[in-house]
Amino acid sequence: MKKGKRKANELVIAGSVDHPSHGHDGTGTVLSEEALSVTSDPSSSVVYMAESQHSEQYPAIEWNETDVTFDIPASYLLDSGLNFPADGLVLYVRDEFKKQFGFLEEVMTQNKLGIILGSPGCGKSSCAFAFMTSQLDAGWVFTWVHLETTEILCVRFEQNSKSIFTCTLLDLDNFRTFLTTASPDKRHFVLLDGYRDGEEKHSTVSMVCEGWLGECRTERRLCKMCSMACRAKYNMDEETRKKVKPVYIDSWILDEFRAAFACTKIFDRFKKNLDSGLAIDGQTREDLTKEDLIMAKYYFAGTCARYMFAYTSEAVISNITDSISACSDILPYLEGSVGEHAVYTINRLISTKTINERGRLRRENSLVSRFAASELALKFGPDLVKR
């Protein structure tokens, strides 16, 4: 999997020439400061682009609700912070995907401040990026903002062109300036990805984005994709005034994975990671059915689509065991008495779904997979089961 990231002093403009230092095969041209009109601040490792006439065209990706998959070329994804194969992303369109599309349309048309929540790996970010690419002919400027540990990665689509901006989480003045550099005669939608409540630097970036939104609410939109399953404490009156609208995206269920792998394009693309039952005592199994492969991987990956599609069983096991080693007590997270937003590592162990009880919706937390449950039982012993 490639990660959409490039050095801060380099700028992607076109999508035709390879740059070997980043290992991409024909997905982007790297142009230096000497080749473009850019502003650079060496003290903060900031580069952003002035006008360029060398941009590749990035038209809207056509899609309708009857399509089983949504395909995003790698050239669109480069520098987004999202992980993707060299030939781009193929996303399975489940009901929660359609629900998130509808939510983002509502944010655009009804002038809401959107917040998308859900457990890590449920597909919030990739769906939001897909929505953005489907709207590139709608007359809007779209800016994708991805928060990493120390950096802010930005991708802007404007008039079928793409520009890149990168700065540190501490360099908010330049980030604020970048948000305001879009065409003044265009409406502007910012999608803030990877946001985690409770992290001071993330909260500061969020405040900058909300300040930018408040300066021209009629022409600007903002939606946050949160790397957590639930929200921190919030003020209802304040949120009403700000027109905040949240949506919760459920984790995947087994039948959704079965439906996804029934699609030949999905199965052929990801079958290499359905590897959990392929070898027993060193002997390769050739007699496993598709259902056998899905069920074997589901034991480890559980409800996390990222685990099921994008990673090998070995990588999933490593990630889950690392999360368990950082966990001193899982029960408060399952009960909801400790906000999942506080510890992202532990949040990876949590699966969430919406329960309808006689017309009343509530959120329910559980463990991401049977493997995670088994490992936690081994760590905490009978006391966990009793509690």
Are residues 375 and 258 located together in one domain of the fold? Answer: yes
DSSP string over 283-319: EEP----HHHHHHHHHHHHTT-HIIIIIS-HHHHHHH
pLDDT of 2 higher than 50: yes
Is residue 42 one of the residues assigned to a domain? no
Are residues 201 and 92 located together in one domain of the fold? Answer: yes
Are residues 90 and 108 located together in one domain of the fold? Answer: yes
Domain end position, chosen among 182, 214, 248: 248
Structural domain total, the chain: 2
CA 216 to CA 291: how far, in whole Å?
A: 52
* Selected residue with higher pLDDT from 206 and 285: 206
Domain containing residue 268 = 254-384
Q: Maximum distance among all alpha carbons in the chain?
A: 66
Are residues 156 and 271 located together in one domain of the fold? Answer: no
pLDDT of 43 higher than 90: no
Are residues 311 and 210 located together in one domain of the fold? Answer: no
Are residues 161 and 190 located together in one domain of the fold? Answer: yes
pLDDT of 4 higher than 60: no
DSSP conformational letter for 90: E
Are residues 126 and 160 located together in one domain of the fold? Answer: yes
Sign, CA torsion 240/223/48/162:
negative
| pLDDT at residue 385, rounded to an integer | 58
| pLDDT at residue 331, rounded to an integer | 57
CATH of the domain at 189: 3.40.50
Domain end position, chosen among 190, 220, 248: 248
